[in-house]
Amino acid sequence: MNTLHPPHQEQEEEQEQEEARYEWDLSLSTVVSSSSSSASDVIGAIEFDPTDNIVATAGISRKIRFYGLPSLLRTSAAVSGGGGGVSFVDQATACEYYICTPAKLSSLRWRPGSGGRVIGSGDYDGVVTEYDLEKRTPVFERDEHGGRRVWSVDYTRNGGGSVVGASGSDDGTMQVWDPRCPPEESVGVVRPAGICRSAVCCVEFDPSGGPAVAVGCADRKGYVYDMRKLVDPALTLEGHTKTVSYVRFLDGGTVVTAGTDGCLKLWSVEDGRVIRTYEGHVNNRNFVGLSVWRNGALFGCGSENNKVFVYDKRWGKPVWIDGFEPVGMNSGSDKRFVSSVCWRQSGVDQCTLVAGGSDGVLQVYVGKTKP
């Protein structure tokens, strides 16, 4: 019995894949140069505020910088005369204000229910800090990770006074806490890898408000927990061959993971099945970022060849690639890479992706569906 697909079916599949690659017109809009050309300004986190109009960045520089997205895009439109050209602006001019922090930062997340006034951060000293952006001062600190680096911070999305936070760390735990309670009180402690104490690299709550929280670990696995029963994982995602550095919910039924094995994977939350694997970017050592645009089912990630990659949920190869500044001619001498990415979640026919580099350069991309 012949199990091969008929030639016409293969042609139809190839045509569908090609169409998926060209549904979006993506282009570089604005480049924000860095005040430093060295590793002292690696951008490790990028986040949009609840209005999707303010972009915050953080990293090695010990600063949280805030940019107004409309002004960045207006700058681009003004430079190009409305024709869609690329604008170049320096960091000092583009940054509206910044907050100095006592340690290097690895993650940022706005706290739901705060009206965009409070942003949380995780740092290299193992501390989770919340900052009041009107006063520009810290208003909350937690230090239960024993001085081990915090890689990720997130909050439940149900808003109001019932917001719960979580942080993942090199100490092998995900700490779950209530921002209203004193730092010595904890909602729960999760050790995904058990006695192995593998670093917890990423935590994310279901953005739709469900009870699930996903975790990515250095033990090469992803986990999904039910907040109502944190004792054991509801699901274990096994398939990566190296550290699972990021995990992101695409919707209530699927999760995307990124690994330092150089691939992304889309999983079914119902049964832990791998739906699709995405390959093309380069990632075998560094954190290069992962963000999903839920309205368009697009994934964005960085790469160690200093390029931004965009994948369509339906197609295992990248649908769009763009490089940061040209790499050095001397092979191996340029170690720059794209270290963080973040989609703006609003919009349906138009999208915005912000990417940051290991040299502190920030690039803003805009896209729209093709006619």
Task: Decide if pLDDT at 91 tops 50.
Answer: yes
pLDDT for residue 230 is more than 80? yes
Residue 250's pLDDT band, with cuts at 50, 70 and 90, is very high
Q: What digits encode the pLDDT tens for the residues 38-65? A: 557 899 999 999 999 999 999 999 999 9
- pTM of the full structure: 0.90
- Compute the radius of gyration of the chain from its Cα atoms: 20
Q: How confident is the model at residue 327 (pLDDT cuts 50, 70, 90)?
A: very low
Element containing residue 356 per DSSP (H, E): strand 350-357
Beta bridge partners of 341: 355
pLDDT, tens digit, for every residue of 259-314? 999 999 999 999 999 999 999 999 999 999 999 999 999 999 999 999 999 999 99
Give the pLDDT mean for 12-23. Answer: 64
Instruction: Please give the Cα distance from 230 to 304 (Å, whole number).
Output: 35
Residue 251 vs residues 261, 291, 293, 294, 296: alpha-carbon distances, Å: 24, 13, 10, 7, 11
* Confidence at residue 9, expressed as pLDDT on a 0 to 100 scale: 60
CATH superfamily of 40-294: YVTN repeat-like/Quinoprotein amine dehydrogenase (2.130.10.10)
First to last CA, the chain: 43
Compute the distance between CA of residue 94 and CA of residue 139 in angstroms, rounded to an integer: 27
pLDDT at 81: 47
| Residue 193 confidence (pLDDT) | 84
Average pLDDT on 321-335 reads: 64
181: Cα within 13 Å, side-chain hemisphere? 13
Residue 5's pLDDT is what?
52
Q: What is the pLDDT of residue 23?
A: 87
Q: Give backbone dihedrals phi and psi of 75, rounded to 5 degrees, phi first.
A: -60, -45
Residue 10's pLDDT is 62
Span 177-196, average pLDDT: 86
Condensed to tens digits (0 to 9), the pLDDT of residues 121-161 reads 999 999 999 999 999 999 999 998 999 999 999 999 875 56
Give mean pLDDT, residues 193-203: 90
For residues 88-92, give the mean pLDDT: 93
On the question of pLDDT at 366 being above 80, the answer is yes
pLDDT at 1: 43
- Per-residue pLDDT, 196: 80
CB atoms within 10 A of CB 106: 23
pLDDT of residue 328: 42
Q: Using the predicted structure, report yes or no on whether residue 84 has a pLDDT greater than 90.
A: no
Residue 2, pLDDT score: 41
With b meaning 16 or more CB within 10 Å and e meaning fewer, what string describes 148-173? Answer: bbbbbbbbbeeeeeebbbbbbbbbbb
Q: What is the mean pLDDT of residues 239-252?
A: 96
- Is a pLDDT exceeding 50 seen at residue 3? no
Among 318, 257, 316, residue whose Cα is nearest residue 290: 257
Q: Evaluate if residue 339 carries a pLDDT over 80.
A: yes
